[in-house]
Chains A and B, each alone.
Chain A
Amino acid sequence: MDVVPKLPIGEWMEGFVEVLGQYKGVLFDPVSIVISTMVTYCSTVLAEIPSLILILLLGAAAWVFAGRASMVFTVVGLSLIHNLGYWDETMETLGLVLTATMISIAIGIPVGILCARYDTFRNLVTPILDLMQTMPAFVYLIPAIFFFGLGEVPGVIASVIFALPPIVRLTNLGIRQVPAEMEEAADAFGATGWQKLVKVQLPYAKSTILAGVNQCIMLALSMVVIAAMIGAKGLGADVYRAVSQVDIGRGFEAGLSIVIIAIVLDRLTQHAGKKERNI
């Protein structure tokens, strides 16, 4: 086994990160500014809305998209969070999750479309997606801190890395599931590639893609505690602090708030795709 000397993969990676670090000002600072602006904007807007109104708005949305039971759960659950005193932290967490989701959608859907169109591209992307989902988050947090500093930006980056793959995978799957005859119909009537995508493939794949978005939100939410370890604010920070101080009560309350948010977001997005066809 010792015939081959140890491969210096670790050294290569360090060298690679170092080279990237030299171009930090060009490569990462613009990204950092965009992300922190988005997070701040989302959190501020959410925090500005009076809590009662936001609870009612989300309740109404739950009623429209997911029915009465979900509406009741949303109103009661969010009121409970408010009562426990985690409202501001919840808004910060939502800001983080929304930002990570928007970035994931913006990258994931186009990449998924390309995967569906070109087999070679998909074969190239699939192992990268596997890597993103299985590589322990702490491993890529180290370079993320190096590039983006502490705070919510590396938190969002970590969330995107973890939450992006399902959108790519399900967009690819959704488009590949469009029946061949339906694509032929689009071609036979003289549709351009773009028209076929927008008028036939994406509408057909919509519910699958939305399932990907739903998964993406859930995964982003699951990253909030890890994000908190590198300085992101929100409910994750409370959980993290409770862990380090062995504060059972506080940990449970913050954890419960995360669960409530997760269920509310899940119900809202899970049914959004299906609702309009039940006429």
Chain B
Amino acid sequence: MPKMKVYQLTKVFGKQPELALKLLAEGRTKEQIYKQTGQSIGVNQVSFEVEEGEIFVIMGLSGSGKSTLIRLCNRLIDPTSGSIEIDGEEIVDMKASALREVRRKKLGMVFQNFALFPQRTVRENVEFGLEIQQVPPGLRQEKAREALALVGLTEWENAYPDQLSGGMRQRVGLARALANNPDILLMDEAFSALDPLIRKDMQDELLELQMTMKKTILFITHDLHEALRLGDRIAFMKDGQIIQIGRPEEIMADPADEFVRKFVEDADLSRVLVAENVMKRAEAITPDKGARVALQLMMDNGVSSLYVVDKKRTLLGLITAYDVSLAIGTGDSLETIMKTDLPTVSPDARLHSLFPMMADLHVPIAVVGEQQRLLGVIVKGAVLGGLVGKVNVQEHQRAEVMSDGRRA
């Protein structure tokens, strides 16, 4: 079951939302409805699901409705129609008291301009969520200190927010959201107000925290690089609608429309694509075969080297055509002639991290998974191909924008 399920969520700003909804159902566009009724559609029939432990990024320019959308998710803004389920529980029609409980226990929020309380110390800020749940002071101080330790601000607990730098303030904002130990973090342009370098640090820190915390994170941004760095999946928003949902490399490789294409054109593909996306099938042989078989295999496949693997496809070494042809004369086994000192990378290594490696290598790079299992091989041509948009996107991970019938 998805952690969070949003279905056909719509927000109309105006006095006669029913009328606007009716027109939307008739298929009118946002502009037509604005012209006809003067009401604006903030979020237009948006559906998506967020899986547990996933960072789901909603990416869009200003005015695309992304900030409205995240506020609909905890009902800081009440939706006009549609449904939001958290852990299978509908929150759209929830009473105020039940909604407060959900906000207290399940949802933490981090704001663009930090929204720290200036008259409270750092620790008192972090305690806020627990304080309003009437957690006793001793316990909530302890939890606040734990949260501050997570973001590395232990020594600042008695400082006031105006004594901190922007990056530190947002760490306090993050700690405040984490102190309640919510399942879901809503992050509204959380790093957008920070300097680029500090923003990058914060992104790294969030990813690092996420490795241990495994929160479900809904992250709003207008920065494509941020979306690509952080997102397990990205939803592109424009004019209140979601245009495309997919993993970063899918969106890069297969943009749904001109708008997304223009957006991703500027992105540095080498920072998005991973080894897995560009690797080729690796030709391999088991060590019990002889040199002649190896040479034949090379000729059949048109390659000048072969990986040597055992029955479980564990990588043992590499043999080249030259060594094999010598071995045919001497009768050496493949195991004695293979090179064992090989460059390897994991399937999720970013392409840009491979460039220095490839520059001084004359052999291909092996992509190995757990227990040195050979998954594929990276050759220079494939990397260049990846950079111009030829990538392996497996069928099952294809972008999926949910259609109306999906819910049933």
Whether B112 pairs with A206 at a CB distance below 8 angstroms is: no
CB-based contact B115/A192 at 8 Å: no
Within 8 A of A (CB), among B55-101: 71, 74, 76, 100-101
Cα-based distance from A199 to B76 in the complex (angstroms):
18
Contact across chains for A188 and B160 when beta carbons are under 8 A apart: no
A179 adjacent to B104 (CB under 8 Å): no
Q: B128 contacts which chain A residues (CB < 8 A)?
A: 185-186, 189, 199
Taking the nearest CB of chain A, how far is it from the CB of B194, in angstroms? Answer: 16
B162's nearest neighbour on chain A, judged by CB, is A277
Minimum distance in angstroms from B66 CB to a CB of chain A: 15
Q: Does B71 lie within 8 Å of A184, measured CB to CB?
A: yes
The distance in angstroms between the C-alpha atoms of A203 and B71, with both chains bound, is 25
Which residues from B are CB-within-8-Å of A179?
113, 115
* Cβ-neighbour of A277 out of B101, B104, B160 (below 8 A): B160
Is the CB–CB distance between B76 and A187 below 8 Å?
yes
Q: Is the CB of A189 within 8 A of B129?
A: yes
Residues of A within 8 A of B224 (CB): none
Distance of A157 from chain B, by nearest CB (Å): 35
Contact of B100 among A181, A192, A200 (CB under 8 A): A192
Given A188-B107, A190-B101, A190-B132, A204 and B115 touching (CB < 8 A)? no
A-B contact count (CB 8 A): 67
Q: Which A residues lie within 8 Å of B120 (CB)?
A: 203
Write the nearest CB–CB distance from A200 to chain B, whole angstroms: 6
Asked if A189 contacts B103 (CB within 8 A), the reply is yes
Q: Is the CB of B119 within 8 A of A277?
A: yes
Please give me the residue from chain A that is nearest to B113 by CB atom: A181
Residue among A187, A203, A204 with most chain B CB within 10 A: A187
A37 within 8 A of B: no
CB distance from B79 to the nearest CB of A (A): 15
Q: How far is the CB of B304 from chain A (nearest CB, A)?
A: 61
Contact B117 A184 (CB under 8 A): no
Chain A's closest residue to B182 (CB) is: A189
**B131 contact set on A, CB distance < 8 A:** 199
Partner pick for A185 among B100, B102, B109, CB 8 A cutoff: B109
A203 touches B119 (CB 8 A): yes
Asked if A204 meets B129 with Cβ closer than 8 Å, knowing A179-B113, A188-B186, the reply is no
Q: Which residues of B contact A44 (CB under 8 A)?
A: none
User: Which B residues between 132 and 146 are near A, CB-CB below 8 angstroms?
Assistant: 132-133
Q: Which of A182, A190, A203 contacts B115 (CB 8 A)?
A: A182
Is B152 in the interface zone, CB < 8 Å from A? no
Residues of A within 8 A of B118 (CB): 204
With a CB–CB cut-off of 8 A, which chain A residues contact B114?
181
B113 / chain A contacts, CB cutoff of 8 Å? 179, 181
Question: Which chain A positions have C-beta within 8 A of B100?
Answer: 190-192
- Is B286 an interface residue when CB atoms closer than 8 A count as contact? no
A279 on the B face (CB < 8 A): yes
In whole angstroms, how far apart are the Cα atoms of A204 and B109 in the complex?
20
The yes or no answer to A177 lying at the interface (CB within 8 A) is no
B156 at the A interface (CB under 8 A): no
A195 at interface by CB-CB < 8 Å: yes
Instruction: For residue B215, give the distance in angstroms from its CB to the closest CB of chain A.
Output: 15
Question: For the complex, is B44 an interface residue (Cβ under 8 Å from A)?
Answer: no
CB distance from B118 to the nearest CB of A (A): 7
Q: Are B112 and A184 in contact (CB under 8 A)?
A: no
Contact A279/B160 with A185-B109, A190-B132 known, Cβ cut-off 8 Å: yes
Q: Closest Cβ of chain B: how far from A195's Cβ, in Å?
A: 5
The smallest C-beta distance from A198 to any residue of chain B, in angstroms, reads 10
Alpha-carbon gap, A192 to B128, bound state (A): 13
Q: Which of B76, B108, B111, B117 contacts A203 (CB 8 A)?
A: B117
Q: Are A188 and B119 also in contact (CB < 8 A) when A199-B131, A277-B160 are?
A: no
Chain B residues closer than 8 Å to A200, beta-carbon distance? 117
Is there contact, CB below 8 Å, between B180 and A189? yes
Known: A190-B101, A203-B117, A204-B118. A185 touches B111 (CB 8 A): yes
Contact A190 B76 (CB under 8 A): no
Task: Among B101, B103, B112, point to the contact of A187 (Cβ < 8 A).
Answer: B103
Contact status B104-A206, CB under 8 Å: no
Give the Cβ gap from B140 to chain A, nearest Cβ, in Å: 12
Chain A residue numbers with a CB within 8 Å of B111 are 181, 184-185
Q: A206 contacts B119, CB within 8 Å?
A: yes
Task: Specify which chain A residues have a CB less than 8 angstroms from the CB of B103 in the assembled complex.
Answer: 187-190
- With the chains together, A189 CA to B117 CA distance in Å? 13
A188 to chain B, nearest CB (A): 4
Q: Please, which residues of chain B bring their CB within 8 A of the CB of A203?
A: 117, 119-120
Most buried by A among B112, B131, B132: B132
Nearest Cβ in chain B — how far from A174, in angstroms?
12
B124 shortest CB reach to chain A, Å = 10
Q: State A195–B134 Cα separation when bound (angstroms).
A: 11
Closest B-chain residue to A181, C-beta based? B115
**Structural contact, B74 and A188, CB atoms closer than 8 A:** yes
Q: Taking CB as reference atom, which chain A residue is nearest B120?
A: A203
Q: Which residue from chain B places its CB closest to the CB of A192 in the assembled complex?
A: B100
Task: Give the distance in Å from the alpha carbon of A187 to the alpha carbon of B114 in the complex.
Answer: 15
State how many angstroms separate the Cβ of A73 from the closest Cβ of chain B.
29
In the bound complex, CA of A101 to CA of B307 (Å):
90
Listed from nearest, the 9 A-B pairs whose CB atoms lie closest are A190-B104, A190-B103, A188-B109, A181-B115, A185-B115, A189-B129, A190-B100, A203-B119, A191-B132
The interface of chain A, by Cβ under 8 A from chain B, is 179, 181-182, 184-192, 195, 199-200, 203-204, 206, 277, 279
User: Which chain B residues have a beta carbon within 8 Å of chain A's beta carbons?
Assistant: 71, 74, 76, 100-104, 107-109, 111-115, 117-120, 128-129, 131-133, 160, 176, 180, 186
Known: A184-B76, A186-B132. 15 other contacts (CB 8 A): A182-B115, A182-B117, A184-B109, A184-B115, A185-B115, A187-B103, A188-B109, A189-B128, A189-B129, A189-B132, A190-B101, A195-B132, A204-B119, A206-B119, A279-B160
Residue contacts A-B, CB under 8 angstroms, 13 given: A179-B115, A184-B109, A185-B117, A187-B76, A187-B103, A189-B104, A189-B109, A189-B132, A189-B180, A190-B133, A200-B117, A204-B117, A206-B119
